[in-house]
């Protein structure tokens, strides 16, 4: 019989890629959708008609009980979150409700459900939990045993979700795993994140639809991979006999400036500086200066390895946005 999976965060970047992966593997895919009029619902219905949408919200425990009853999942992937680090400083309590307590809500709904012994659970943990501070620099890369020092309300909330998942695993023997994922991007990334903001602006600049790109901190470094590779790792975690935590990363770190360099080169511009202005509105109260991951455990135990490298990722995103922007007539 086909396996059934429930994905929270179905309208997000990872929800898109994971739904596609599971569908290709023959799963019946359920997706949790929130809001009485979610504008992204139509997108899912058109592009991924095989996804069975269930109206629920991570902050509403009874709706999660209903979602579990309806989907009877073998696997639950908790991808839903308020996931923008900068925004989390503006709505810290909302972020705690959704990103931290939301994880508890769904774990508890699983624990109390009839299928609790069978259901395997994935929690979307993050490299933002590490912090990149001087006393705790990544060295050769943060691994599963590195110290945590989150630097945003988002990171703190994710750390709660990480630990409550481990706690439910240890307390109740649940098959619950955390993927500590470093930044992963692609054409499905929201334009509020720096990679897509840059790829989209570069495409618009090439087409004469935009002249200036405003950004915040250009010095920070991230370990950027491709989202399509990372959802494969999520799935592999839930196929293991024992639940565990794994870092998924590329093992390389690049600055926002490196990203600008490659993205502008893609449209034949060697000097990006005249096109980029710094705007303090995009700075955060504090920053994570550097993230670099060590994916050795996932590579060894799961047989996972990223396929797309950093130049390949930037090229993919810029070319996608050139196609997208060529087809639309909106100008600044
Ligand atoms: P994303 O594009 O921002 O998607 C977030 C999803 O959460 C959206 O589908 C959103 O639905 C949903 N959501 C927000 N509030 C909700 C609520 N109250 N109830 C139910 N759903 C809610 O994020 P992503 O990039 O796909 O990332 C997936 C997960 O991995 C997130 O938990 C993120 O924090 C984590 N993560 C991401 C990265 C990365 O680099 N992408 C790295 C590490 C960890 P709406 O459409 O209704 O807003
Ligand atoms: O693209 P970002 O917003 O991603 P960030 O903060 O690293 O968080 C993403 O990755 C995390 C994993 O490490 C996830 F957990 C999280 O959910 C999210 O997906 O910013 C990347 C860097 C930052 O240093 C930021 O300050 O780019 C810098 N930046 C510079 N100008 C900007 C901008 N970021 C954004 N979003 N917008 C700017 O204009």
- What local confidence, expressed as pLDDT, does residue 116 receive? 77
- What local confidence, expressed as pLDDT, does residue 328 receive? 85
3-class secondary-structure state, position 189: coil
Taking the CA of residue 155 as reference, the ligand 2 atom at the shortest distance is: 15
- What local confidence, expressed as pLDDT, does residue 318 receive? 98
All residues at 6 or more sequence positions from 24 whose CB lies less than 8 Å from its CB, including other chains: none
Choosing from 9, 19, 97, 178 the residue with most ligand 1 atoms within 8 A of its CB, the one to mutate for a pocket test is 9
- Whether residue 222 contacts residue 258, with contact meaning beta carbons closer than 8 Å, is answered with no
- What local confidence, expressed as pLDDT, does residue 115 receive? 76
* Dist. CA 79 → ligand 1 center (Å): 5
User: Is residue 145 pLDDT above 90, yes or no?
Assistant: yes
Q: Give dist(CA 83, CA 184) in Å, integer.
A: 12
Segment 271-299 shows an average pLDDT of: 97
3-class secondary-structure state, position 54: strand
Taking the CA of residue 85 as reference, the ligand 2 atom at the shortest distance is: 6
User: Is residue 229 pLDDT above 80, yes or no?
Assistant: yes
* Dist. CA 125 → ligand 1 center (Å): 11
CA 115 to chain centre: 27
- Whether residue 33 contacts residue 53, with contact meaning beta carbons closer than 8 Å, is answered with yes
- What local confidence, expressed as pLDDT, does residue 126 receive? 98
Question: Which residues are known catalytic residues?
Answer: 126, 128, 154
Percentage of the chain beyond pLDDT 70 is 99
**Beta carbon of 194 within 6 Å of any ligand 2 atom:** yes
Q: Give dist(CA 235, CA 122) in Å, integer.
A: 9
- What local confidence, expressed as pLDDT, does residue 332 receive? 53
Q: Give dist(CA 32, CA 15) in Å, integer.
A: 10
3-class secondary-structure state, position 192: coil
Pick from 225, 234, 227: which is nearest to 304 by CA?
Answer: 234
Q: What is the Cα Rg of the chain in Å?
A: 20
Which ligand is in closest contact with the Cα of 288? 2
**Residue pLDDT, tens place only, 244-282:** 999 999 999 999 999 999 999 999 999 999 999 999 999
**Residue pLDDT, tens place only, 85-129:** 999 999 999 999 999 999 999 999 999 998 778 999 999 999 999
**Per-residue H/E/C for 210-269:** CCCEEECCCCCEECCEEHHHHHHHHHHHHCCCCCCEEEECCCCCEEHHHHHHHHHHCCCC
**Residue pLDDT, tens place only, 22-81:** 999 999 999 999 999 999 999 999 999 999 999 999 999 999 999 999 999 999 999 999
Which ligand is in closest contact with the Cα of 14? 1
- What local confidence, expressed as pLDDT, does residue 330 receive? 60
Q: Give dist(CA 224, CA 221) in Å, integer.
A: 9
User: Is residue 331 pLDDT above 70, yes or no?
Assistant: no
The average confidence (pLDDT) of the chain is 97
- Whether residue 146 contacts residue 136, with contact meaning beta carbons closer than 8 Å, is answered with yes
Segment 6-28 shows an average pLDDT of: 98
Q: Give dist(CA 121, CA 107) in Å, integer.
A: 8
Which ligand is in closest contact with the Cα of 64? 1
> Using CB atoms within 10 A of its CB, is residue 280 exposed (0-12), middle (13-18) or buried (19+)?
exposed
Choosing from 18, 81, 250 the residue with most ligand 1 atoms within 8 A of its CB, the one to mutate for a pocket test is 81
Could you tell me how many residues make up the chain?
332
- What local confidence, expressed as pLDDT, does residue 329 receive? 67
């Amino acid at each position: 019989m086909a396996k059934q999976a429930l994905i929270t965060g179905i309208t997000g970047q990872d929800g898109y890629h994971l739904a596609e992966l599971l569908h290709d593997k023959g799963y019946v895919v359920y997706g949790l959708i929130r809001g009485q009029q979610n504008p992204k619902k139509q997108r899912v219905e058109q592009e991924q008609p095989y996804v069975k949408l269930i109206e629920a919200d991570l902050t509403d425990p009874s709706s999660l009980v209903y979602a579990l009853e309806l989907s009877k999942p073998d696997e639950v992937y908790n991808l839903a979150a308020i996931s923008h680090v900068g925004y989390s400083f503006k709505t810290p309590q909302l972020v705690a409700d959704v990103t931290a307590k939301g994880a508890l809500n769904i774990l508890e709904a699983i624990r109390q459900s009839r299928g609790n012994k069978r259901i395997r659970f994935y929690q979307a943990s993050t490299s933002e939990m590490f912090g990149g501070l001087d006393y705790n620099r990544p060295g050769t890369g943060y691994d599963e045993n590195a110290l945590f020092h989150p630097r945003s309300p988002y990171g703190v909330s994710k750390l709660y979700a990480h630990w409550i998942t481990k706690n439910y695993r240890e307390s109740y023997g649940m098959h619950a795993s955390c993927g500590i994922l470093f930044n992963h991007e692609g054409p499905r990334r929201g334009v509020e994140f720096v990679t897509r903001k840059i790829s989209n602006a570069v495409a618009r600049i090439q087409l004469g639809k935009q002249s200036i790109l405003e950004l915040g901190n250009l010095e920070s470094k991230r370990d950027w991979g491709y989202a399509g590779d990372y959802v494969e790792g999520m799935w592999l975690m839930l196929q293991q006999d024992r639940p565990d935590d794994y870092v998924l990363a590329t093992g390389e770190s690049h600055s926002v400036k490196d990203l600008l360099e490659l993205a502008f080169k893609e449209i034949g511009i060697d000097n990006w500086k005249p096109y980029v202005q710094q705007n303090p509105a995009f700075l955060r109260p504090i920053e994570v200066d550097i993230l670099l991951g060590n994916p050795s455990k996932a590579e060894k135990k799961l047989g996972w390895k990223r396929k797309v490298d950093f130049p390949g990722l930037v090229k993919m995103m810029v070319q996608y946005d050139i196609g997208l922007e060529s087809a639309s007539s909106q100008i600044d």
